[in-house]
Chain A
Amino acid sequence: MKAAAPAKRTETYLLNMGPQHPSTHGVLQVKLTLDGERILKAEPVLGYLHRGIEKLMESRTYVQCLPYTDRLDYISSMNNNFGFAMAVEELANIEVPRRAEFIRVIMAELNRINSHLIGIGTLANDLGASTGMLYCFRDREYILDIFNEVCGARQTFHYIRIGGVSGDFTDKARSLTEAFLERVPKFLAEYDQLLTGNEIFTRRIVGISPMTAQEALDLNMTGPNLRATGVARDLRKLDGYSVYGELDFAIPVGEHGDNWDRYQVKLKEIAESAKIIRQCLDKLPEGDIMAKVPKVLKPPKGEVYSRSEGTRGELGFYIVSDGTTKPYRVHIRRPSFVNMQGLDLMCRGMLIGDSVSAYSSIDPIMGEVDC
């Protein structure tokens, strides 16, 4: 008698990715549960870069807190400075001079372009197109030249201070910015040829890791990740904080919320940011760049939640003041941390290789995720 062939049986397999992995851009560990080549579950393990910034801020004065925000999301330091400065100004009722507001917006938008360039570059690099990264980093250096001119730093700027900005927007900085704006359409066209029209690149991202608008809203995702699903939510438009209310710009949105849309939204946002900078340069008024802020800053008792559109979504600072020179409690709503929740949903049912592109297109920064 012939023995019955054993029934086909597969077992789930646990694959560990990170903390040392070339595609995690930092120190993230992801536990992938696999069924063959398909991902059943992706569980991020956080905390490899937890530096206790929120706790450290409680033992620093408000002015001393500002450099720590540089190191949260270290690619978009200007936006973080901006967010924290706005929160303290709201708490202490400080009126910022108009010229400073315009300079702040110019810097924040330049930093947004910088951050998106790194996002696109690392996405290309993770999918095997190292050339894409080299091009993006080349164009990023021209933005760093502008930052270097206004504050002397390439990465952790501490340029936007409580009450204004630390240095004036010089004529040289203006000419550098204008030269950069001329470059923007040129390099965008170059990326279109290099990446957007590249069939290998396209196949790796079109239709991969889709997400519906409802799913993204349920997970509280913000920024380009949410806009890629078709929800036009942008705090620059919604709140119109600083001088954004006076400026004319569009909010690019996607359709399917897949990796392709997230990539496209970033490309389009670069063009929109360039438009904002152009308008700010034209409208930039003369005047002071720093409000009169007391040497010893003691905001009155109270609490404030101030939000702004960081490069990765809603960046919120919740500060409780007890009337002394140091904050009683600071809580930071970090967009990368919240967006990371989407990783599991994006990876389910995809192939192992797609976890890398899903991760890159969320574009989290570990300094901000772990805080």
Chain B
Amino acid sequence: MELKDRVPESLRNNVLIVKVDELFRWAHANSIWPLSSGLACCAIEMMSTATARFDLSRFGYEVFRPCPRQADLLIVAGTLTYKMADPIVRLYEEMPEPKYVIAMGSCAIVGGPFADSYSVVEGIDEVLPVDVYIPGCPPRPEALIDGMLKLREKIMHPERVAEERAKWAERKKEREAKQA
């Protein structure tokens, strides 16, 4: 006898049977709380996305939190310098699991126009595992919204995220071995 057959006939249309994990994932994917961690130019576009014209709250992602303890998404919006690299890793580590990272703009992806500078980290995936990359300099608000919807799909499928994180950890180990 299956679970749904045990529901009385009169209630069949009002009862939804799901796994608790899936229910939480679905809820989480539709109410991401990003950390308001603007670094440079892209932060202005991030702010524009949250305001009237583009209205990120249509998707339930508008609760920007300044405190990492309350956030579950780190949008790295801007150029990451070596001086800022340690604080941003610490911010990431202070966030509670499950947590995700979006690399917004070409600086966060590969260093952008500053890639050959002496003080710029060439892409945040040197220090953080990235889930979604949004290209552009800076990306338009529509692109950020699209990126967050891509992240929604990823949150619904945690096995893909786990696979990518494992690959990233491997790459990080290789890099560290090379440096040593």
Contact = CB atoms under 8 A, between A and B. Distances in A.
B113 A55 contact: no
A6 B121 CA distance: 54
Nearest to B79: A51
Contacts of B51: 133-134, 137-138
A20 B40 contact: no
Contacts of A48: 81, 83-84, 87
A155 B138 contact: yes
Given A22-B36, A133-B51, A138-B52, A56 B41 contact: no
Nearest to B111: A51
Contacts of A138: 51-53
Given A20-B66, A71-B113, A156-B138, A49 B40 contact: yes
B114 A155 contact: no
B113 to A, nearest CB: 7
Contacts of B52: 134, 137-138, 141
Given A27-B84, A50-B81, A155 B118 contact: no
Contacts of B83: 47-48, 50
A74 B41 contact: yes
Interface of A is mostly: loop
B53 A56 contact: no
Interface residues of A, number: 34
A99 to B, nearest CB: 29
Interface string B1-45: 000000000000000000000000000000000001111110111
Contacts of B78: 49
A141 B40 contact: no
Interface residues of B, number: 33
A31 interface: no
A39 to B, nearest CB: 21
Contact of A56 (B37, B84, B87, B116): B116
B48 interface: yes
Nearest to B118: A52
B120 A52 contact: yes
A155 B119 contact: no
B117 A56 contact: yes
B8 to A, nearest CB: 48
Instruction: Pick from A27, A48, A53, A68 the residue with the most CB of B within 10 Å.
Output: A27
A146 interface: no
A155 B40 contact: no
A182 to B, nearest CB: 19
B172 interface: no
A156 B120 contact: no
Given A74-B40, A154-B140, A51 B47 contact: no
B161 interface: no
B53 A118 contact: no
A253 to B, nearest CB: 29
A188 to B, nearest CB: 18
B149 interface: no
Contacts of B38: 25-26
A20 B87 contact: yes
Given A20-B91, A49-B79, A137-B53, 6 more contacts: A20-B37, A71-B113, A154-B48, A155-B45, A156-B138, A367-B41
Interface of B: 36-41, 43-45, 47-48, 51-53, 66, 68, 78-79, 81, 83-84, 87, 91, 113-114, 116-120, 137-138, 140
9 A-B pairs closest in CB distance = A22-B66, A74-B41, A137-B51, A52-B117, A138-B52, A51-B114, A48-B84, A141-B53, A52-B119
